[in-house]
Structure 1
Amino acid sequence: MRTILFALTAALCLGTLPLAAQTTAPNAPDTAQVATPALSPLGQVIAQNADAIKKPSRQTIAPVIAAIGAAGPRAPIVLQAWADRALGVDATGAIVLLETTQDGYALTDPATGAVIGAAKTSEIKEIKPNSGVRGLIASALVEFQLQDPDPKLRQAALTSLARDGASEHLTPLRASIETEDDPALLAQKTRLERLLTIRFDPDPAERIAAIDGFGADLGLDLRGALNPLTVTTRKAFEGEPSGSIKSELRLGRGLTETEAYDLLVAQDLAPARLTRPALIAALEANIVEGTVGGVAVADLDTASARDTAYTALETSGLVPVAATDDEVSAATRAFRYAELYAEPDQEVAEAAERALTKIATKVGAMQAVDLSLDALSLASIYFLAAIGLAITFGVMGVINMAHGEFITMGAYTGYVIQLFVPDYTLAILIALPVAFAITFAAGVGMERLVIRHLYKRPLETLLATFGISIALQQLFKNIFGTQARPLTSPAWLDGALSFNDVVSISYIRIAIFILALLFLALFLFIMKRTRLGLEVRAVTQNPSMAASMGINPDRINMLTFGLGSGIAGVAGVAIGLFAKVTSELGSDYIVQSFMTVVVGGVGNIWGTLAGATLIGFLQKGIEFLNPSNTLAAQTYMIIFIIVFIQFRPRGIIALKGRAAGD
């Protein structure tokens, strides 16, 4: 009886041990607990993959991320916390959500959101996924973010998809299009859906429809989706070529014998080619009693004899198998060759090829438009730089080599004004008239002190103005130093006006173009509608007759030189907005200014405009044809102008009067 009672007591005690263990250590990990059905689906996924989550690897973590994403409404919260490194492991080894507090962390159950408690920083080990794992998490979050109420999150999801979209994103993206109420985001989603359809949709008809739907769209994203579909490889076939064939290749027509045999060797359809050094070495090593492979040494003076001898040695196993020239020719003729698309569906690849052809045609047209805009902006710069020179050279016949330094003076004027006026827009508006006034005064002073004593003496005038140019450059260096000084454009001139991915023009160049038009209009107004303009035209055409009519040619020359110098100062402000402001700024434009005036026609504003346009388009055209060598482009342009002047020595629009006679 005692034995029976003892046995029953022991059994009861043993039966209570697991319960006691659970009571004393409720947080201890237990396999049975992980699999308990009381856990939510998300909790089960986290518990079953705890080790992988704690130490994630990009190569193996993708299934775990996918399982979490499909495990319930709290999945996005857990994934975002994981990506933000807001998951950690507490003292019991459980995975918890972390919220930073003053004393450490507040802990939350990731599956339920229930508050667990608090812990010190030293008691928590943060889970820190690397960038690769975070990228996978971001892709998984896209599905939830596409329909998030916050437009910024939807935009972020689209950005992520555009960068790293995959086939599994097509379905949620299409579903989100139906509920999108933001027109801009709807347009982005629709475009992205078509791009992903081209890349990942299993239905070829859908892919072709998506390709054709873009037409000749110039987007870089479209070209990025189409280009991989048209990549080709070459392959040899023993019979009829098969697969996604772009074209069949023929020996001698698109495929050389060497290229064909290299394909055979790469596909293990033929042995490597026998090189001449290897052939000679093999024959020399196998000379036996004056013969090699049954061929007399004396007869090895022809290629066919050497090939025959090597083939005999191959048959005997004395040399490695290799293809002689005859065998290469025979082998290449025994196969057929084709160029295959990397895209397995030929119709899809051909649709992509057609689309890229249309795009290339449109890109070529757009490049021509873009090149024309660049040439037009360059012409406006040359026109601004040359208009003042055209006035002084045309009216006075003075070759002013210091004209470039007046441009530099205007640029430095803008820089100095910006030192005192922090508002860049206001500073530029002030700089334009101030630069005109300063350079006008400098021009008048130069004319009064030097130029007027050298009229009718062009060589002395050229040398004198060249000396003044050097002196002014040194003066600029002494005042402002040799470092480039910033002439900052207003914020509203930052960036460029883009029409598409090919055609764009910076706002600064647009502003310079408008400024050139304004100065053209101002010059025409002065010359056609004012007394000064009437007197300038009279002196230009016939100074003696103008003097007899009471016009003072000496005064007109002074004002004309000052006007030309003042316009150069304004041009300097405009040029300084995009070019480096140094003491040599003007010298970079003086040659082009003289070429503009000479080619267009001395002293004629329309000739100057025509010359600037011709030189601007010519320079950009030559640079387009020879983009790697700008010095060569300058040389070709000068040669062209020299030839042009031989046929039209007075320029495009010749001036009648004193300038023409001179």
Structure 2
Amino acid sequence: MRSVLIGLIWLLVSIGAVQAQTLQSILQTHAEEVAKPSRTSVDVLLDSLTQSDLPQVPKFLESWAERNVWREKSSGGFFIATAADDMLTLQDVDTGVETTALPNDYIQIRPNGGVRRMIGLALVQFQLSEPDPVRRRAALDSIARRGDAEQLAPLITSLEGEDDPALLKRKQELVIFLTARFGDTAQARISALKALSGYTSVEARAVLNQTLATTSGVAPQAPAGNIARIIDPTDDPQSRYAQLVAADLAPAIVTPAEIRAALEANVVEGRAGGIPIAQLGRDSLRIQAYTALSDAGLVPPLVTPQAIDAALAKHVFYEVYNETDSSITGAARATLDSIETRVGWAQTLDLGLDGLSLASIYFLAAIGLAITFGQMGVINMAHGEFIMMGAYTGYVVQLVIPDYTVSLIVALPLAFIVTFGAGVALERLVIRYLYHRPLETLLATFGISIALQQLAKNIFGTQARPLTSPDWLGGALVISDVIQISYIRIAIFVLALIFLLLLLYILNRTRLGLEVRAVTQNRGMAASMGINPDRINMLTFGLGSGIAGVAGVGIGLYAQVTSEMGAGYIVQSFMTVVVGGVGSVFGTLAGAGLIGFLQKGIEWLNPSNTLAAQTYMILFIILFIQFRPKGIVAPKGRAAAD
């Protein structure tokens, strides 16, 4: 009976102890450490807090790290508090009950940066298992920014209860990253390093580069250890000798200013080093005087080029890995080489997609010109303004129809109608009187382009106008960490492909297309067969202008809509048509591809200067035309003879 009574008493005491276990009681046990935390001893308090399993601990840690914890002077109790209007709003750390008080009765706890970092590490253990996925994501972002060995264990523990597939994948990724850097055994780290070969992200490469971090050194002999490489000092003798001087392995080089100061300090009876002061204006005599002083032991000796070479030859310059285990650095190097090879191929493919995207834009801009210039031989310098008119048509439609998807569907045919009408008007009023007079046509259309630009400025102003794409065109198609392309560029590519097929159908399968080709090849013979050349010229010019207007809508989704936007495409459009082959749709396609890929390739070689890239591209095009004046797809038959 006595033993049963003792057991009941012990159980009641234990229950009372559990009930008495509060956050405030833990803080009071470590009161001095909470009030004046230090990085070397705060881990004892953090261990007590994390092992308590109290639900209020995470909030307290966050407040402590943000310096929102205050201590009452009289009682020594700790509160979560915010200051406003010369008052403190206090919150009990256990119950959350709020009160207000004057700040004079409390002391704000201000942990330093090192302590706050350790608090953050402890807080991660709670955040990784938070019910809110946003907070779990924030914890993972924190680990990604500042990875630490102590985060690995709680991260692995949190994998089991993670129900979000995206967060689970991210946690598994971070486990590999942290294991590669902080794994308990060499084998665990090597396995994680090999697993990184499946990644091409910047984070993965950063982990490998941290593992392969080196420290430069110099010694009379090659040291033992995990040597990364032996450096040839003759590649940069000046900096290598400076490294010797910094390591106290060689005397410093005496500068001309130091030589002059030494001579001034050792003037005796009007001479320095036995040479009269009046003669020390020559470098050779100053060196001679300084050498004399050096031989007398009055100044440090000069370091000659021969002495530098001898000192470099006597020492070994090296880089040693900070990681001492060669098997780990070997695995990291092999993985990094594999990743860099894959990244290189991915960058090449990404550059190819950029070139394809730019070629699509140039093809859209030039396809209308391929008809007016290629089929009709009319040099239309106002072609860019038809692109501008199409873009502004799309902008006006969006003002009337706020739904961007519907407005885009309406804008495409409406832009064709507007610019088709403008093209027909231009052909009837101006172009028809200037056929076979290229210089007058060029000057007239150039003047019209300036007039259209000014008209657009008067109507819409000089500020860029937004042509907003629908939400489903927002973002980018991400193929990998390196390869991605925006949906707008994909849409422009699809639009260019549609116009290519449509134009081929019109020219090859419709009566209008057959009549256009007939008039292009032999105007007189076509007229004798009952075809009206004037009507065909009008419709052809209108068709080319209408296509330019639709291209303006597509380009406006990608570029800024301004009155000068067409001028930025007129030169590339003419180059596309001429390089591809005048009068050929496939030639225009080939020309757009050549110019687009060429420009992106030159920009990749010289990324800091896009203007220089365009200049080099134009020079290349000029040389190309010298060797192939009729373009990539040369015309055949009667058209070639003309």
TM-score range, shorter chain: 0.7 to 0.9
- The structure-2 alpha-carbon separation of the partners of 1:281 and 1:443, relative to structure 1 and needing over 3 Å to count, comes to closer
Corresponding residue of 1:47: 28
Structure 2 residue 133 is matched with structure 1 residue 156: no
SS in 2 for 1:172: helix
Corresponding residue of 1:239: 221
- 1:390-436 CA-partner distances (Å, limit 9, x unpaired): 11112221111111111110011011111111111111111101000
Corresponding residue of 1:173: 155
Separation in 2, partners of 1:147, 1:85: 24
Corresponding residue of 1:19: none
**Amino acid of the residue matched to residue 591 of structure 2?**
G
Corresponding residue of 2:537: 557
Separation in 1, partners of 2:286, 2:231: 29
- The structure-2 alpha-carbon separation of the partners of 1:135 and 1:432, relative to structure 1 and needing over 3 Å to count, comes to farther
- The structure-2 alpha-carbon separation of the partners of 1:211 and 1:552, relative to structure 1 and needing over 3 Å to count, comes to same
Residue in structure 1 matching 2:601, options 615, 621, 634: 621
Separation in 1, partners of 2:441, 2:527: 23
Corresponding residue of 1:7: none
Separation in 1, partners of 2:314, 2:172: 51
TM-score by length of 2: 0.86
Separation in 2, partners of 1:356, 1:310: 56
Separation in 2, partners of 1:384, 1:301: 70
- The structure-2 alpha-carbon separation of the partners of 1:334 and 1:506, relative to structure 1 and needing over 3 Å to count, comes to same
Residue in structure 2 matching 1:204, options 178, 181, 186: 186
**TM alignment of 1:455-494, pairs within 5 A:** 455-494=435-474
Gaps of 5+ in 2: 1-16
Corresponding residue of 1:217: 199
Residue in structure 1 matching 2:346, options 366, 370, 390: 366
Separation in 2, partners of 1:610, 1:288: 83
Structure 2 residue 78 is matched with structure 1 residue 95: yes
**Amino acid of the residue matched to residue 147 of structure 1?**
S
**Amino acid of the residue matched to residue 27 of structure 2?**
I
Deviation for aligned residue 1:159: 1.8
**TM alignment of 1:561-576, pairs within 5 A:** 561-576=541-556
**Amino acid of the residue matched to residue 243 of structure 1?**
G
SS in 2 for 1:398: coil
**Amino acid of the residue matched to residue 607 of structure 1?**
G
SS in 2 for 1:177: coil
Q: CA RMSD in A?
A: 3.5
Corresponding residue of 2:393: 413
Separation in 1, partners of 2:148, 2:446: 67
**TM alignment of 1:485-504, pairs within 5 A:** 485-504=465-484
**Amino acid of the residue matched to residue 28 of structure 2?**
A
Separation in 2, partners of 1:520, 1:130: 67
Q: Which has the larger radius of gyration?
A: 1
Deviation for aligned residue 1:608: 0.7
Structure 2 residue 100 is matched with structure 1 residue 120: yes
- The structure-2 alpha-carbon separation of the partners of 1:204 and 1:493, relative to structure 1 and needing over 3 Å to count, comes to same
Corresponding residue of 1:385: 365
- The structure-2 alpha-carbon separation of the partners of 1:329 and 1:644, relative to structure 1 and needing over 3 Å to count, comes to closer
**Amino acid of the residue matched to residue 323 of structure 2?**
E
Q: What count of residue pairs does the alignment treat as equivalent?
A: 614
Separation in 2, partners of 1:85, 1:302: 68
SS in 2 for 1:339: strand
Is the Cα contact below 8 Å between 2:587 and 2:631 reproduced in 1?
A: yes
Deviation for aligned residue 1:206: 2.2
Separation in 2, partners of 1:323, 1:442: 80
Separation in 2, partners of 1:122, 1:574: 64
Is the Cα contact below 8 Å between 1:42 and 1:71 reproduced in 2?
A: no
Structure 2 residue 587 is matched with structure 1 residue 587: no
**Amino acid of the residue matched to residue 186 of structure 2?**
P
Residue in structure 2 matching 1:76, options 58, 64, 76: 58
- The structure-2 alpha-carbon separation of the partners of 1:406 and 1:130, relative to structure 1 and needing over 3 Å to count, comes to farther
Structure 2 residue 383 is matched with structure 1 residue 400: no
**Amino acid of the residue matched to residue 359 of structure 1?**
I
Deviation for aligned residue 1:442: 0.7
Is the Cα contact below 8 Å between 1:65 and 1:140 reproduced in 2?
A: no
Corresponding residue of 1:525: 505
- 1:548-586 CA-partner distances (Å, limit 9, x unpaired): 222111111111111000000001111111211111111
**Amino acid of the residue matched to residue 621 of structure 1?**
G
SS in 1 for 2:296: helix
SS in 2 for 1:248: strand
Separation in 2, partners of 1:521, 1:187: 43
- The structure-2 alpha-carbon separation of the partners of 1:604 and 1:149, relative to structure 1 and needing over 3 Å to count, comes to same
- The structure-2 alpha-carbon separation of the partners of 1:325 and 1:657, relative to structure 1 and needing over 3 Å to count, comes to closer
**Amino acid of the residue matched to residue 145 of structure 1?**
Q
Deviation for aligned residue 1:220: 0.8
Separation in 2, partners of 1:329, 1:644: 51
Residue in structure 2 matching 1:261, options 241, 251, 268: 241
SS in 2 for 1:501: coil
Separation in 2, partners of 1:365, 1:182: 33
Is the Cα contact below 8 Å between 2:582 and 2:634 reproduced in 1?
A: yes
Is the Cα contact below 8 Å between 1:418 and 1:487 reproduced in 2?
A: yes
Separation in 2, partners of 1:301, 1:569: 76
- The structure-2 alpha-carbon separation of the partners of 1:255 and 1:249, relative to structure 1 and needing over 3 Å to count, comes to farther
Structure 2 residue 444 is matched with structure 1 residue 446: no
Structure 2 residue 125 is matched with structure 1 residue 143: yes
Is the Cα contact below 8 Å between 2:274 and 2:289 reproduced in 1?
A: no
Q: Which moved more, 1:435-444 or 1:85-94?
A: 85-94
- The structure-2 alpha-carbon separation of the partners of 1:204 and 1:546, relative to structure 1 and needing over 3 Å to count, comes to same
Structure 2 residue 256 is matched with structure 1 residue 273: no
Gaps of 5+ in 1: 1-35
Deviation for aligned residue 1:642: 1.3
Corresponding residue of 1:185: 167
Deviation for aligned residue 1:137: 3.0
SS in 2 for 1:120: strand
Separation in 1, partners of 2:527, 2:18: 112
Structure 2 residue 328 is matched with structure 1 residue 342: no
Separation in 2, partners of 1:130, 1:448: 81
TM-score by length of 1: 0.83
What is the percentage of aligned positions where both structures have the same residue? 56
SS in 1 for 2:217: strand
- 1:519-571 CA-partner distances (Å, limit 9, x unpaired): 11111222222221222222222222222222111111111111000000001
Separation in 1, partners of 2:580, 2:307: 69
Corresponding residue of 1:3: none
- 1:275-302 CA-partner distances (Å, limit 9, x unpaired): 455457646866889999999999x979
Is the Cα contact below 8 Å between 1:395 and 1:659 reproduced in 2?
A: no
Separation in 1, partners of 2:445, 2:574: 14
Deviation for aligned residue 1:593: 0.5
Q: Which moved more, 1:83-92 or 1:473-482?
A: 83-92
- The structure-2 alpha-carbon separation of the partners of 1:81 and 1:236, relative to structure 1 and needing over 3 Å to count, comes to closer
Is the Cα contact below 8 Å between 1:543 and 1:658 reproduced in 2?
A: no
SS in 2 for 1:215: helix
- 1:74-105 CA-partner distances (Å, limit 9, x unpaired): 133432454577644456331135699xx996
Separation in 1, partners of 2:393, 2:276: 93
Residue in structure 1 matching 2:413, options 424, 433, 438: 433
- 1:470-494 CA-partner distances (Å, limit 9, x unpaired): 1111111111111111111112212
Separation in 2, partners of 1:92, 1:285: 71
**Amino acid of the residue matched to residue 385 of structure 1?**
A
Is the Cα contact below 8 Å between 2:220 and 2:315 reproduced in 1?
A: yes
Separation in 1, partners of 2:508, 2:356: 26
Is the Cα contact below 8 Å between 1:146 and 1:157 reproduced in 2?
A: yes
SS in 1 for 2:323: coil
Corresponding residue of 2:7: none
Separation in 2, partners of 1:199, 1:288: 65
**Amino acid of the residue matched to residue 249 of structure 2?**
L
